[in-house]
Amino acid sequence: MQILPKSKLLISVLTKYSQLLEKISFLLPPDVHRLIHGKAAMLNQSLLANRRSLARMLLHLQEEILQQQSVFHLHWDDCLSCWKKNRITEVIDNVKQLCVNDRTQHVITAQQQSELLRDQTEQRCVVISQINPLLQDTCSISVVSDWYEQLKAVNEQINRLHADSLHHLRCSYEQMWQHQLSEVEYCKEALSALQLSETEMQDAINSQLLPYIGQVQVQDEERLAALDLHCDTLARYDFMLSRSVFAVLRGAALLWDSHDLSVPDLAQGGLEFDICDLKCLLLKQIDPVGGSNTTCGFKSKKHNLVITIIFCEVNSSIEQ
């Protein structure tokens, strides 16, 4: 059975009953038509009201669906943005970790250089420990000169090792900087795989990765400059101290050669007078270190203390 629309169904029903009422002849045909038309008008109004309600319900339903879709779309955008941020942070953290691993390898290499430097420093301590026999009356200028040549050779080896270490350190830093730049290219490839736009990719690199690499490079350059200055200052200080100690020992050897311990007290007094003159002469030869630098001032005090100790050893040997 075919289901007709409500309007056609109502028309057929009203037509049927209109014909029945006309056959009954209880009412005149105009009254029957008027009655049927009134009922039809009421039914039409009900149908229109139902249609308006249905249209309003469909409109509200569509609005609700659109609102839900908008909320879902915003939630999707937020989740996608959060996921991209997490992935960007993960990629950049991986690059930073690679930079840290490079620095760890660099620290291991620097420790190997420090072991070589420690060996040379111990060798210099051995040479310096040989200073006590040089204060005896059997000391001569040739022995002092040989001792000074040994000390100077060890100092030169240490200075060369410092220079080689700085050169190796600078080359290692440059290689590390180049590797970090290559890691930036790797980071770009990893970020492009996330389907980021060129602007988003550049913003992520410029705001998070490049400042970190630049800060590390600046710190490395400052560290290299500080090490270079420290090594140069240390080399000049070692040279000055070694030269002063050599002058003291050479003066003591000259005094042993020119004076005999068996001379009378007058000669002993003259010897002490010559030692005082030698000390004044050596103090004048010491290059003054400016008081503006606290480290240099400390080295000057240490320098004078070393010379004073040497003179005390000379005086003690003379008294014996």
pLDDT digits (tens, 9 = 90+) for 80-126: 889 888 888 888 888 888 877 777 666 656 666 677 777 777 777 87
pLDDT at 32 (0 to 100): 73
Structural tokens at position 37: 């038309």
Tokens of 132: 């006590």
**∠229-284-244 over CA atoms, to 5°?**
60
Q: What residue ranges do the domains of the chain occupy?
A: 92-319
Closest to 48 in 3D by CA, of 12, 8, 7: 7
Extended strands (E) in 200-255:
none
- The answer, yes or no, to whether residue 183 has pLDDT greater than 60, is yes
Contact 306, 282 (CB under 8 A): no
Q: If we measure between CA atoms, which residue out of 165, 169, 256, 286 comes closest to residue 220? A: 169
> Which amino acid, residue 230?
H
Say whether pLDDT at 319 is over 50: no
- Each residue's pLDDT tens digit, 225-250: 998 898 899 889 888 888 888 888 88
Kindly report the average pLDDT of the chain as a whole number. 74
pLDDT of residue 259: 59
pLDDT in tens, 193-221: 877 778 888 888 888 888 888 888 898 89
Q: The tokens of 115 are what? A: 């072991």
Give CA–CA dist 150/154, Å, rounded: 6
* Amino acid letter, 271: L
N-to-C CA span, the chain: 143
Q: Average of pLDDT values for 258-275?
A: 49
How many other CB atoms are found less than 10 A from the CB of residue 204? 21
CB–CB of 172/106 below 8 Å?
A: yes
Token code pair at residue 43: 């039914």
Structure tokens of 190? 């990893």
Token pair belonging to 131: 């200073």
For the CA atoms of the chain, what is the radius of gyration? 51
Each residue of 260-296: b (16+ CB within 10 Å) or e?
A: eeeeeeeeeeebeeebeebbeebeeebeebeeeeeeb
Give the model confidence (pLDDT) of 119-130 as tens digits. 777 777 877 777
Residue with tokens 């080399």: 235
Tell me what percent of the residues of the chain surpass a pLDDT of 90: 10
Cα separation, 82 vs 86, whole angstroms: 6
Whether residue 304 is predicted with pLDDT greater than 50 in this model: the reply is no
How far apart are the C-alpha atoms of 205 and 225, rounded to whole Å? 28
